[in-house]
Amino acid sequence: MPRKRANKRKTSAPARRELRLPTININWRLISNGGLLLGAVAGVYFGTLWLLDQQINSVRIEGRFERVSSLQVEAAITPFMNQGFLGADLSTLQRSITDLPWVQQASVRRSWPSTLIVSISEERAAARWGKDGLLNVYGELFVEHTTHIPAELPHLKGPAGTELEVAQRFFELDDQMKQRGLMAVSLAVDARGSWELGLSNGIQIRFGAVALETRTERFFEALDQLLAPVADKVDYIDMRYTNGFAIGWKPGVKTRLAEQREIDPHA
């Protein structure tokens, strides 16, 4: 008998789906017209800027200052004069003026149609720093070297970076001195951290480098109780003792206190 061929099961391939993407209809005519409109607007904008960007005709300087010269300000402004009224970089100009010696703060603004207004605040010197530097009222070294130092300024000295600390301590001590009819004129701290205060009557107070607050309190206590009546006879006061202090008298001074060099105010 003829063999029956086995029926082979036909395997069909998976149906392929057609991806239907959204159709984007581009209206090129509208885009072309919009581009022309945008270009026209930009043209009007930049054209207007070009028409309004007139040459700077004048500069008005405001503020009260004595140390800043008009020549310095003019030199800082001149490079910006050709940039135009609207084109001038006011931020850079402001920094250029602020960088001048003795300028504490500066601002620049436009005044229609062609004027720049420059406002300047001058630094106020509060103390001499080191050999020929100057500190402002914020304890900042704003001039490192100057040929003119006002004689009435106190003289402060210390390592670089200690300007604010020295200034703060000086004016705190000076306030207490003025309450007692005295005046501080100098304060110095050396590289080891040792402090020395100078008074207008010539007295030097040596505080040393440790226990500054304790020694300061002890000094004012001794000044109030013992030293005020004979302050004009004292050359220096050395507070670098554990419990007391030492006094250096001016030559030829004879007082009851001068019989002993080291004094314990608590004795």
> Which residues have a Cβ under 8 Å from the Cβ of 251 and sit 6 or more positions away?
none
183 band by pLDDT with thresholds 50, 70 and 90: very high
- 148 and 228 in one domain? yes
- pLDDT beyond 70 at 171: yes
CATH number of the domain within which 179 lies: 3.40.50.11690
- 224 and 155 in one domain? yes
* Residue 98 resides in a domain: yes
pLDDT score of 7: 46
List, for residues 142-161, the tens digit of each pLDDT value. Answer: 989 988 888 899 999 999 99
Per residue in 123-153, is it b (16+ CB within 10 Å) or e — as a string?
Answer: bebbbbbbeebbbbeebebbbeeeeebeeee
25 band by pLDDT with thresholds 50, 70 and 90: low
- pLDDT beyond 50 at 122: yes
pTM value? 0.69
172 band by pLDDT with thresholds 50, 70 and 90: very high
| Structural tokens at position 153 | 């300024």
| Structural tokens at position 41 | 């607007």
Indicate the range of 10-19, 54-63, 91-100, 116-125 predicted with least confidence: 10-19
Percentage above 70 pLDDT, the chain: 75
CATH number of the domain within which 97 lies: 3.10.20.310
- Which domain does 198 fall in, by range? 125-263
List, for residues 233-262, the tens digit of each pLDDT value. Answer: 899 999 999 888 999 998 877 665 554 445
List, for residues 45-59, the tens digit of each pLDDT value. Answer: 444 444 555 787 888
266 band by pLDDT with thresholds 50, 70 and 90: very low
- pLDDT beyond 60 at 219: yes
- 131 and 118 in one domain? no
Sign of the dihedral defined by the CA atoms of residues 209, 201, 243, 172, in that order:
negative
User: Mean pLDDT score of the chain, rounded to an integer?
Assistant: 80
* Residue 194 resides in a domain: yes
pLDDT score of 257: 58
- pLDDT beyond 60 at 114: yes
65 band by pLDDT with thresholds 50, 70 and 90: confident
- 239 and 179 in one domain? yes
Q: How many CA atoms lie within 13 A of 33 on its CB side?
A: 4
* pLDDT: which is higher, 61 or 27: 61
* Residue 190 resides in a domain: yes
- pLDDT beyond 90 at 106: yes
pLDDT score of 228: 85
* Residue 15 resides in a domain: no
Strand order of the sheet with strand 115-122?
A: 58-62, 115-122, 103-111
